Amino acid sequence: MKTLWAMMATVVGVGLCLQAPAQAKNAEPAAAPKMDLTAKSARSGYVKVDGFVTDWEGVDKVESRTLTRGEPEYDWTGPKDLSMVVQAQYDQTYIYMAVEVRDNIVTGPKRRDRGDRVEIWFDGGEVAAKSPHGRMRMLELALGDMESDGKPAITWQYPKSLKDQEPTGLLKDGSMRHTGYFFEFGLPLSELSDPAPGLEPIGIAIIARDLDRDDPNEDEAAVANAPFDGRKKRRPDTMAKLRLAGAENMDAGFYQRLPELHGVKPTGEFLVDVGGDSRRERVFLVKNRLVVVGFGLGDGDFYYYTMATADHITHYKLETRDLTGDGKDEMLVYYKLDHGPVVQDVLIIFQFKLDRLLVIFHHELGNQGQGWEINNKLTIKGGKKKPAVITVTAPKKATGVTAETYIDVDQNDSVDWERLLLPWTGPPKNTFEWDVGQYLKR
């Protein structure tokens, strides 16, 4: 009897399954593959933001056809229902993007419903995390007046400090298509993050959202170029990369000029704005060369400065900070010169100006010999909002050396730095203030 009841329960269960199929599973953002986007280099003025595709021939395309939101059975019937093609170009000032959305039913905003739209998330990385608006921004491309032959509405929607603002310097246009709609815009690179991206790739996630409203039970559908969840965790590691063509190989010009440095590992590498165009440059040291690589650096894309002779330099480190209050970072290079019996510690500070690396401060800070040393104290106060004051102070006494046993390796040489302050002679300190483009001793 128990066996008969078990068989009947199984038959009934099968019948119920056939009559009431399980509800389809919603798509998730994680379903999208990471598809990086490479922006093609264009000469300034080439891209015309006019809503047409005539200046987008030969530019790489990224096509998103994977559902990341909604139920495949009810909310999306395939790429003609919703899919997206994205292209990018750039020049010295702008990043340009063309976004074509294929949508069988285009829906404008209605009450609180924002309608069909595209979200573009940008991640400026750790270097932008401490900026006033943070590391991540989201630009919304909405239909605006396009349905009446006008322009789209393109505004920041994240973070809250930028919400509903149109980016400064934005160029925008668009057009309706029988297959959907098309956005074209130019965004100043300085708007992507603070400081603006330069050579390094920037995180990007592009999401097309679609709500047809032809069924009261229909949910929003979405496709994307990356497994990024713009509504919950917003994890930068799930974003794709936006690369500027040629940027990652810009160092090649420097190594072609100095082939003997091929294979030498750079020391101390920073992404900072030293060029004054609000874009990050890459600053690093290769042996005795300070190298600056980036966009907009005059006729070339790299500059370098040779410090002393390579045979004498044994160690150095690189720091960057805004000392002069102009919003650009200066480059502080600490290095050692090995003269055999004496090793000198020296600080040299550079500023990039007028397409040149200029020395604005140079001071000997220490000497070390066999069993003795003399070290000056360096103090830097201020910077960023107002120029810093630099003070170098002599020690009250030296360690293991006197005026009679001290070895002055520069005694008979003319040097281009301020000499080491000694405890037995000279001023107790040197104070330097920013004036007429350099640090002058007061």
Mean pLDDT of 35-46: 92
Which residue from 408, 32, 66 is spatially nearest to 239, judged by alpha carbons? 32
In the prediction, which pLDDT does 216 show? 62
| H or E, element range at 254 | helix 252-257
Residues 232 and 323 in one domain: no
Global pTM reads 0.72
Identify the pLDDT of residue 13: 43
For CA atoms 131, 135, 141, 144, the dihedral sign is negative
188 in Cβ contact with 93 (< 8 Å) = yes
Residues 93 and 137 in one domain: yes
Rounded alpha-carbon distances, angstroms, from residue 355 to 54, 190, 232: 35, 20, 44
- Provide the number of structural domains found in the chain: 2
Q: Higher confidence at residue 212 or residue 154? A: 154
* Residue 175 counted as domain residue: yes
Instruction: Specify whether 149 is located in the same domain as 163.
Output: yes
In the numeric block, which tokens belong to residue 354? 């007028």
Binned at pLDDT 50, 70 and 90, residue 243 comes out as very high
Q: Is residue 13 part of a domain?
A: no
pLDDT value, residue 311: 66
Please name every residue paired with 289 in a beta bridge, in sequence order, or none if there are none: 286, 306
Q: Say if residue 150 is in the same domain as residue 276.
A: no
In this prediction, residue 265 carries a pLDDT of 85
3-state secondary structure at position 10: helix
Residues 82 and 102 in one domain: yes
Do the domain assignments include residue 419?
Answer: yes
Cα separation, 252 vs 262, whole angstroms: 10
Boundary (domain end) residue, out of 220, 244, 268: 244
303 and 330 together in one domain: yes
Residue at a domain's end among 244, 267, 282:
244
- Single out the residue in 205, 228, 244 at which a domain terminates: 244
Q: Say if CB 56 and CB 98 are below 8 A apart.
A: yes
Residue range 270-280, pLDDT digits in tens: 888 887 766 78
Give the domain extent around 223: 25-244
Q: Are residues 379 and 348 in the same domain?
A: yes
Same domain, 300 and 350: yes
Residues 335 and 353 sit within 8 Å (Cβ to Cβ): no
Q: How close are the terminal C-alpha atoms of the chain, in Å?
A: 107
* Residue 7 placed within a domain: no
CATH of the domain at 238: 2.60.40.1190
Answer yes or no: do 377 and 233 share one domain. Answer: no
Say how far apart CA 227 and CA 220 lie, in whole Å: 17
Regarding whether 255 and 192 lie in a shared domain, the answer is no
Which neighbouring-strand residues pair with 137? 122
What are phi and psi for residue 113, nearest 5 degrees?
A: -80, 120
Whether residue 282 sits in one domain with residue 184: no
C-alpha span between 272 and 293 (Å, rounded): 11
Residue matched to tokens 């973070």: 159
Residues 226 and 210 in one domain: yes
